[in-house]
Amino acid sequence: MGKKVSKKDVNGLDSLIGKKYFFRAVTYHVVGKVVGILHENILKIEGASWIAESGRFMQAIKNGELSEIEPVGDVYLNLDTVVDFYPWKHELPTEQK
């Protein structure tokens, strides 16, 4: 308490376009590349996979190691369901595992 909080200007959701992320939504996980925004809170994601089991989370984010993967192609993700998301610095998975 007592610390002054500074605000940082983020270029809105447009700054997500063209980048890959691992999204944790309320009941599922998705990894893919954001290519568009619809209706202010829906992201269009290409090359997406539903991650049934991430395995050890640090290895997933740091090394791209995922335990169970279901490639699904395009996904439309409602940001109202997203808990958090992380930059994905790895190739997007293309094989079911």
What is the pLDDT, as a whole number, of residue 1? 55
Q: Considering the entire predicted model, what is its pTM?
A: 0.85
- For residue 68, the enclosing domain spans 13-87
- Examine residue 48 and state whether it is found in any structural domain, yes or no: yes
- Examine residue 47 and state whether it is found in any structural domain, yes or no: yes
- Examine residue 6 and state whether it is found in any structural domain, yes or no: no
Q: How many domains does the chain have?
A: 1
- Examine residue 8 and state whether it is found in any structural domain, yes or no: no
Sign of CA dihedral 52, 58, 60, 66: negative
- Examine residue 76 and state whether it is found in any structural domain, yes or no: yes
- Examine residue 46 and state whether it is found in any structural domain, yes or no: yes
pLDDT tens for 15-29 read 889 999 999 999 999
- First and final CA of the chain: distance in angstroms? 47
CA distance 41 to 69: 25
What is the pLDDT, as a whole number, of residue 8? 47
Tell me, what CATH number does 52's domain have?
Answer: 2.30.30.100
CA distance 5 to 74: 38
- Examine residue 82 and state whether it is found in any structural domain, yes or no: yes
Residues of the chain with pLDDT under 50: 8-9
